[in-house]
Structure 1
Amino acid sequence: MDPFQKQPNRIGELIDSSTKTLKQISKETGIAYSTLGNYNQGTRIPNAKNAQILSDYFGVSIPYLLGLDDNPVLKNPSEDSFVKLFVKFLKDGSVASKKIDDWAPFKDDVAGLLADISGTGILESHIDFLIKEKGYHPIIVKAYKHFLKEQSETIFPYLLNKSGDKNSPYHYVWEEWENSEEYKAMQKAKKD
């Protein structure tokens, strides 16, 4: 996959594969027809509320809906420890799951943030500005953009997925998440 390739328009795909019109979907979801049209054409990215509504409506995860994951259903993380998996990743670049999973803290916010960063081009624009101002070699800047995109889409979700491990440098995220309504709902659903 080309690291600079635009995210797939999953909303457009889901709308096209449904048997419903935009008008029907708008009525059933409460999302304005014009807004749905923009999502369908890939000219806008949904806000967190609309992403949640559409993911529930189509029965897919928010990361899938936003084009950040190829699996429409979120996965539970493996039982392997954070350290073991991180060493494996550093060694050969492969980890069982580098995507956002069910137990990723604030998973919807992570998916939204990653979609916003990749969808707006803000980061790329700032880096391009630095090329002009500082005169960095364009191939190095291209490689750095590739690195940032790869890190934001694979490593960042992975680190948050494994932040429940007390050895994780991101454990503070997990600790904050444990106090959230989202976490409490996950725990309740797990018990039921």
Structure 2
Amino acid sequence: MRKELTMKKLLIVLAILSLPVAVLAGHMATEAAQVDHFRREEATAAFSSTAGCIRTDVDVFAITGHDQHASNATNSLNDGHVTLNQFDTCKGREVLHAEGHTALGPSDFKTDRNLKSATLNTTVPLIEEDTGEKFDVTIHVTWNGNGGVKHDTARARVPRSLNTILTNIQGRTGAATGSVIRDGTNLTPEPSTFARLGNVLDNATSGT
């Protein structure tokens, strides 16, 4: 069940991260030779705890960023996402699976570009997968980077064009603590089982 949860979260993250590429590719197709930039900062954390027979897994993901076109036009991306899964280990069955996301305000998600820390303070509406029940969770989570900073680069060519996108990635593992509260109950009483901070910079160059 945890693998299914992780895969769903991965697909959502990939969908979010693909947006800048699509925006940049479309923008470049209509402009002369130029370089556009898209910068984003992100943080992800996974929590797991058990009370009696119920194991609760919570994944939290936040992203903030903006793209700067050569024409000086800008667009922003600010989103927070939560996945909540509860499993009855005594009966061997899932009892709840809910997901949701919300747009983030300027003060909701704060990051350090050196990947030292991040904070997320917001409320996210969730929808239960089977019943359609809607409820809110209130998030107060802090990340602290403690691993080495890893760097990576990737280059991609936009299909059927001379446009290329060079991506520079910085990532750092760490620890996350805090609360994800539903109806007065903290669903994340234990420190994270996984946490990561990241910076991504896309430099998109159009062909001449």
Higher fraction of helix: 1
TM-score by length of 1: 0.27
Higher fraction of strand: 2
TM-score by length of 2: 0.26
